[in-house]
Amino acid sequence: MGHHFGVPFHTTWQRRIILAALEHLRDAQASGDILELPTTWAQARREAAQLVGNHSGDRKSS
């Protein structure tokens, strides 16, 4: 999906962004309304790094 929906492999974050965008599309009062999410990119990157770190042992090297 790319960085528009959050950091790579962080499916929970990506889902949050997509659902928030769809809800905002439904609820927006005027063209150009902007929705700011309560989470920062820095926080998303930290969470993603933890996810990758937690799963790095799952990969087998060949």
- pLDDT at residue 3 above 90? no
pLDDT for position 62: 42
Position 35 scores a pLDDT of: 85
CA neighbor of 6 nearest in space, from 55, 38, 40: 40
Read off the pLDDT of residues 5-58 as tens digits, 9 standing for 90 and up: 777 777 888 888 889 989 999 999 899 888 888 878 788 788 778 877 765 555
Torsions phi, psi of 49, nearest 5? -60, -40
Please tell me whether the overall predicted TM-score, pTM, comes out greater than 0.75 for this model.
Answer: no
pLDDT for the residue numbered 19: 93
